[in-house]
Amino acid sequence: MNLNYTPEEEAFREQVRSFLRAKLPGDISQKLKHHKPLSKEDHVRWQKILHQQGWMAPGWPVEYGGTGWNAVQKHIFYDECAEAGAPPVIAFGVNMVGPVIIAFGSPQQKQHYLPRILSSEDWWCQGYSEPGAGSDLASLKTRAELRGDHYVVNGQKTWNTLGQHADMIFCLVRTASGSKKQEGISFLLIDMRSPGVTVRPIVTIDGGHEVNEVWFENVEVPAGNLVGEEGRGWSYAKFLLSHERSGIAQVGRSKRELRLLKYIASQEQVDGHPLIEEPRFRDKIARLEIDLMALELTEMRVTSAEREGRPPGPEASILKIKGTEIQQSLTELMMEAVGPYALPYIPQQSGENWIGETVGPAYAGPLASRYFNYRKVTIYGGSNEIQRNIIAQHILGL
My answer on whether 265 and 380 are in the same domain is yes
109 located within any domain: no
Q: Which long-range contacts (CB under 8 A, 24 or more apart) does 299-305 make?
A: 299/75, 299/249, 299/251, 300/3, 300/75, 301/1, 301/3, 303/71, 303/72, 303/75, 304/1, 304/2, 304/3, 304/72, 305/1
94 located within any domain: no
Higher pLDDT among residues 280 and 299, named by residue? 280
52-76 residue pLDDT tens: 999 999 989 999 999 999 888 988 9
My answer on whether 177 and 74 are in the same domain is no
pLDDT tier at 386, thresholds 50, 70, 90: confident
Q: Taking Cα atoms as reference points, which of 386, 377, 272 lies closest to residue 332?
A: 377
Indicate the range of 137-141, 173-177, 331-335, 364-368 predicted with least confidence.
Answer: 364-368
User: Where is the domain boundary, 204, 231, 258?
Assistant: 231
Give me the pLDDT at residue 245, please.
Answer: 57
Residue 294 scores a pLDDT above 90: yes
Q: What is the CATH number of the domain that holds 145?
A: 2.40.110.10
Known catalytic membership, residue 244: yes
My answer on whether 268 and 343 are in the same domain is yes
My answer on whether 298 and 389 are in the same domain is yes
1 located within any domain: no
Tell me the three state secondary structure of residue 169: strand
My answer on whether 265 and 381 are in the same domain is yes
My answer on whether 153 and 278 are in the same domain is no
Task: Indicate the number of domains in the chain.
Answer: 3
Rounded Cα gap, residues 28 and 48, in angstroms = 13
User: Where is the domain boundary, 181, 208, 231?
Assistant: 231
280 located within any domain: yes
- Other CB atoms within a 10 A radius of the CB of residue 8 amount to 10
* pLDDT, mean over the chain: 89
- Other CB atoms within a 10 A radius of the CB of residue 67 amount to 18
96 located within any domain: no
85-142 residue pLDDT tens: 999 999 999 999 999 999 999 999 999 999 999 999 999 999 999 998 887 888 999 9
My answer on whether 84 and 180 are in the same domain is no
My answer on whether 271 and 381 are in the same domain is yes
29 located within any domain: yes
pLDDT tier at 268, thresholds 50, 70, 90: very high
My answer on whether 388 and 255 are in the same domain is yes
Higher pLDDT among residues 248 and 13, named by residue? 13
My answer on whether 388 and 251 are in the same domain is yes
342 located within any domain: yes
Domain of 312? 246-396
Residue among 230, 244, 257, 268 flagged as catalytic: 244
Tell me the three state secondary structure of residue 94: helix
Give me the pLDDT at residue 128, please.
Answer: 94
Tell me the three state secondary structure of residue 254: helix
pTM, whole model, 2 decimals? Answer: 0.86
My answer on whether 252 and 226 are in the same domain is no
Q: Write the DSSP assignment of 321-371 as a string of letters.
A: HHHHHHHHHHHHHHHHHHGGGGS---PEEETTEEE----SSGGGTTHHHHH
Give me the pLDDT at residue 348, please.
Answer: 55
Which distant-in-sequence residues (6+ apart) come within 8 Å of 14 by Cβ? Answer: none
Tell me the three state secondary structure of residue 37: coil
331 located within any domain: yes
Q: What is the CATH number of the domain that holds 360?
A: 1.20.140.10
Residue 242 scores a pLDDT above 70: no
My answer on whether 77 and 138 are in the same domain is no
- C-alpha separations of 315 from 93, 237, 387, 394 in Å: 25, 20, 10, 10
Burial of residue 366 (number of CB atoms within 10 Å: 0-12, 13-18, 19+): buried
